Amino acid sequence: MESQIKSNDNEIDVSVVMPCLNEEEMIGICIEKTKKAFKDHDIKGEIIVSDNGSKDRSVEIALNSGARVVHQPLRGYGNAYMKGIESAKGKYVVMGDADNTYDFSEIHKFIEPLKKGADMVMGSRLKGKIHKGAMPFLHRYIGNPVLSGILELMFKAKVSDAHCGMRSFRREVFDKLCLKTPGMEFASEMIIKAAKARLKIEDIPITYYPREGESKLRTFKDGWRHLRFMLLLSPEYLFILPGIIMLLFGLTSLIALIGGPIAILNHKFDLHMMILSSFFTISGLQVLSLGLFTQIYSHNLFASDNKLVTFFIKCFTLEKGIYSGLFFLMVGFLFCVKVLYNYLHAITGDSIYYNARFAVFGVTMMIMGLQLIFSSFYVSFLNLKKEHEDFNYMS
């Protein structure tokens, strides 16, 4: 269902999209500010209110104020925006919340950089002016800076306020990004995919005002949703980096302790540390394998240009993986044979832990061997479709 005022599509340069859920107190003000900005800056534009199931007079007020209303029955911040943006007819799209926390009289600031070649323009509350009571202390000094920093670290997205709700972009950018998330993660998904697509993003300072009425934001739940989404889209930091650290630490410690206890800063490390090292070694290899599975799946599905994955796929064969696994299995088996030999001949060495060290090392190597063999089969399974296509092409 869609309600709208009449407009000439050829005259629309800018579409301003506002998601709305029970905003009868502020929706009219936001629309009037936008209309005034259109007039003051000679902008040929339209205002789209994407209603997300309002039970108050929001839709009525929006229509009476001259906005076009589209209805999105599926709840969620992202769902509301996607419906509104899909309905946009302008060359440029400006998005902002309908609670009057953002100043829609500033929309011209979001259009000029786009006309000069930018693909996306991000508002920055942290660089601009935040009125008293507009942003909670935790959001301003911890939540937003930390999440924006993590976003920059993981995805090289150089924006100072990644979760600012007011931003603009070229209409074709929306189609290119293929945004999917229905909830608050929509804001993060847009920046992450824009950064991965190497789009030109500009940062501009804006003014942020206190919200009238109860906020719909949930500090910790929404913050966790953003962080969780960023981690899921960054297997390098979720799997591969932790896996490499655990594997290197565990394997190094295992090899160092196989010959006997080590004293560091007057602390003796022996069998107990070796068992812990075994845990880190096995877990690290498993986590690293999951990271590689994720990267290979992403590479094959989305044709990503990750150089490490491309190199791995080029060099990897099932046979190499099996041979590597068999090597570790054989090393582990030989150590276990030595333990059995020492037991049968009552060889205890210099300590009661002498044979236990060999047993821990041997069992760890054998588990790593099995992991490598079965992981190699799984990698081959992930590449099966690609290899089949390559075979058909060569045939």
CA–CA distance, 128 with 253 (Å, rounded to integer): 51
Q: Please report the pLDDT score of residue 217 as a whole number.
A: 64
Q: Please report the pLDDT score of residue 228 as a whole number.
A: 84
Q: Please report the pLDDT score of residue 296 as a whole number.
A: 84
Q: Please report the pLDDT score of residue 394 as a whole number.
A: 42
Q: Please report the pLDDT score of residue 351 as a whole number.
A: 67
Q: Please report the pLDDT score of residue 386 as a whole number.
A: 56
Q: Please report the pLDDT score of residue 235 as a whole number.
A: 83
Q: Please report the pLDDT score of residue 231 as a whole number.
A: 82
Q: Please report the pLDDT score of residue 295 as a whole number.
A: 84
Adjacency order of strands within the sheet including 2-3: 2-3, 68-71, 45-51, 14-20, 92-95, 167-170, 120-130, 201-208
Q: Please report the pLDDT score of residue 155 as a whole number.
A: 87
Q: Please report the pLDDT score of residue 71 as a whole number.
A: 96
Q: Please report the pLDDT score of residue 305 as a whole number.
A: 64
CA–CA distance, 358 with 348 (Å, rounded to integer): 11
Amino acid, res. 355: N
Strand locations in the chain (E): 2-3, 14-20, 45-51, 68-71, 92-95, 120-130, 167-170, 201-208, 262-264, 267-269
Identify the bridge partners of residue 170 per DSSP, sorted by sequence position.
92
Name residues of the chain where pLDDT drops below 50: 1-7, 391-395
Q: What is the pTM of this model?
A: 0.74
Q: Please report the pLDDT score of residue 5 as a whole number.
A: 41
CA–CA distance, 216 with 150 (Å, rounded to integer): 24
Strands 14-20 and 45-51: parallel
Q: Please report the pLDDT score of residue 134 as a whole number.
A: 86
